[in-house]
Amino acid sequence: MRQLSRRQLLQSTAAGLVLPALPKIIPAMDQPVFPHIHPRIAKFEQLAFGIFVHFGLYSLVGKGEWTMFSHGTPRDEYMKLMSRWSVPDFSGQKLAQLAKSAGAKYVTLTSRHHDGFSLYDTHGLSKWDVTKTPARRDIIRDFVDGCRSEGIVPCLYHTTLDWSDDRFKSDWKGYQQYLRDSVEIICSNYGELGAVWFDGNWSKPEADWELDALYSMIRKLQPETMIINNTGIGEEGKLVHSEIDAVTFERGRATRVSPNKLTNKYITGEMCHTANYHWGIATRDFNMLSPASVIEELCRARAVEANFLMNLGPTGTGAIPDYEQAMFEVVGKWVDLHGGSNNPIYRGKPKDINGEDDDFGLIVNNEAYLFIFDLTATADPRASGTNSRGPGPRKFTGLPPTYVNARWLDSGEELKLEHENGSSVLHATKYPYGTNTVVRIAHLTQ
């Protein structure tokens, strides 16, 4: 992932989410209003929530995934870390089990990051891979097998930027062939992948990355995989090639993606976030997101039909850090409280149901679900003031008046629902003492 300053991060997570309506597209006589949704994209959208895993030699240092670049470590010195790479605690199955407990349906692991070290057997393409370490095991094989054993979809990240391969600077055509050969290995040797996730083209925005050749090779080997290429901070939601299936929103608020007018292709979105200011483990970065923030960001992404990819960075031994383990488990309890595998975050569609501030609605078949934020009257129960909206009327537009019954999904408590002059009002009651689920969901029926 791309390094950014504190100021940039604060700007990218600025408060306030605008839910823009889908633009009206005037079709030709022989075209539908909305393009056909490819089955792989529809399937990906229903996965909804994934876990990002940044793991590599930098994990041994514990100073973030950019440590080689940011601390100016020479390549040959940095690669000496390979002699310490034994990672006895890494387990693809444990990662998949964590994903299941969190309600995440897929995991995306870094098969090679910008430092050029590969977690897979490169079959001689590179001298910097796991087969030349004390671990002597293919981490990617362990990962994909572990995911499939738990019913989790495995996805692989692969850098396009490489700090260690000399060809990246001196032999661009040769480097592009090396990159394609590397991606061919991960697409050929590990079974069906849910996505191939690229990152690094932003390092040379004017270069010819030979995307036609790269993507056509992937389509031949993995016809049902999602192709995703991270456009990075400042270029969120940008479509760089017609074969891209999902645009990215790195550390930013996702917006609803419009049907592509040139290709008549439906494109989805994915927002990725990390728990602090780094993607690889940084043992002295204590500025951690709360589970509440993760729940909110997951819901905000689903409000605009984007997937949410939340990161963790394993330790130098390959273990899952305690904080991230606990954080994901808390998120999983929220998912379970609101229906588990039937939680509307997975299959719900916005259908232009919009609330005030962050509130929004989703439709699943003939049922509607309203997501209510800021229901806690105050962050401090001793305070007399109000720091958020609290209980009371919540106004929505776009909700069909055929919905007449409402109840909290978590408790079954019935709620008052009114329709008038094209808008709807849900009368949200307060949390009972001892309860605060951050985002509460009301279930509406006709």
Residue 409, SS3 per DSSP: coil
On whether both 357 and 428 belong to a single domain, the answer is yes
Is the distance from CB of 43 to CB of 266 less than 8 angstroms? no
pLDDT computed for residue 144 by the predictor? 98
H helix and E strand count, the chain: 13, 16
What confidence tens digit (pLDDT) does each residue in 257-280 have? 876 666 678 999 999 999 999 999
> CA triplet 417, 444, 425: central angle to 5 degrees?
25
User: Does residue 152 lie within any of the structural domains?
Assistant: yes
Which of these three, 287, 314, 343, is where a domain ends? Answer: 343
Q: What are phi and psi of 220, to 5 degrees?
A: -70, -40
**Residue 380 confidence (pLDDT):** 52
Q: pLDDT per residue over 111-142, tens digit each?
A: 999 999 999 999 999 999 999 999 999 999 99
Q: Residue 21 has what pLDDT?
A: 31
Range of the domain at 139: 29-343
Q: Give the model confidence (pLDDT) of 144-200 as tens digits.
A: 999 999 999 999 999 999 999 999 999 999 999 999 999 999 999 999 999 999 999
Q: What is the chain's Cα-based Rg?
A: 23
Classify residue 1: in a domain, yes or no: no
Q: What are the DSSP E strand ranges found in 131-178?
A: 153-159
125 and 78 in a common domain: yes
Q: Has residue 24 been placed in a domain?
A: no
Last residue of a domain, one of 343, 361, 380: 343
**Residue 63 φ then ψ, to 5°:** -125, 30
Tell me which of 289, 318, 343 is where a domain ends.
Answer: 343
C-alpha to C-alpha distance for 178 and 187, rounded to whole angstroms: 14
415 shares a domain with 307: no
pLDDT at position 378: 53
Tracing tokens 């606990």 back to the chain, one arrives at 326
The rounded mean pLDDT for the chain is 90
Which residues are within 8 A (CB) of 254 and not within 5 positions of it... i.e. 6 or more apart? 236, 237, 269, 270, 271, 300, 301, 304, 306
- Position 7 in a domain: no
- Do 337 and 359 have their domain in common? no
Q: Residue 256: what pLDDT?
A: 86
The answer to whether 183 and 196 have CB atoms below 8 angstroms apart is yes
Q: Is residue 40 part of a domain?
A: yes
Q: Which has more confidence, 214 or 422? A: 214
Separation of alpha carbons 221 and 209, rounded Å: 19
The CATH number linked to 418 is 2.60.40.1180
Do the beta carbons of residue 226 and residue 194 sit within 8 Å?
A: yes
Nearest to 186 by CA among 258, 287, 109, 270: 109
Enter the tokens of residue 223: 């016809």
The residue-averaged pLDDT of 303-311 equals 97
Q: What CATH number is attached to the domain comprising 128?
A: 3.20.20.80
**Parallel, antiparallel, or unpaired: how do β-strands 106-112 and 226-230 relate?**
unpaired
Residue 233 and residue 360 in one domain: no
Same domain for 237 and 383, yes or no, is: no
Buried b (16+ CB within 10 A) or exposed e, 294-317: bbbbbbbbbbbbbbbbbbbbbbbe
* Residue 10: pLDDT over 50: no
Contacts 24+ apart (CB under 8 A), 236-239: 237/269, 239/267
The two most distant CA atoms of the chain are separated, in Å, by 70
* Mean pLDDT value of segment 423-432: 96
Pair 187, 300 in one domain:
yes
Residue-level pLDDT at 30: 36
Helix (H, G, I), strand (E, B) or coil at 342: helix
Same domain? For 101 and 215 the reply is yes
Look up residue 89 and give its two tokens. Answer: 């605690």
Same domain, 279 and 422: no
* pLDDT, tens digit (0-9, with 9 covering 90-100), for 193-222: 999 999 999 999 999 999 999 999 999 999
Same-domain status, 436 and 300: no
192 domain residue, yes or no? yes
- Do 315 and 242 lie in one domain? The reply is yes
**Domain assignment present for 3:** no
Same-domain check for residues 402 and 292: no
What the block records as the tokens of 40 is 């792989």
Cα-to-chain-centroid distance, residue 322: 21
Beta bridge partners of 166: none
Count structural domains, the chain. 2
- List residues bridging with 270 in a β-sheet: 248, 307
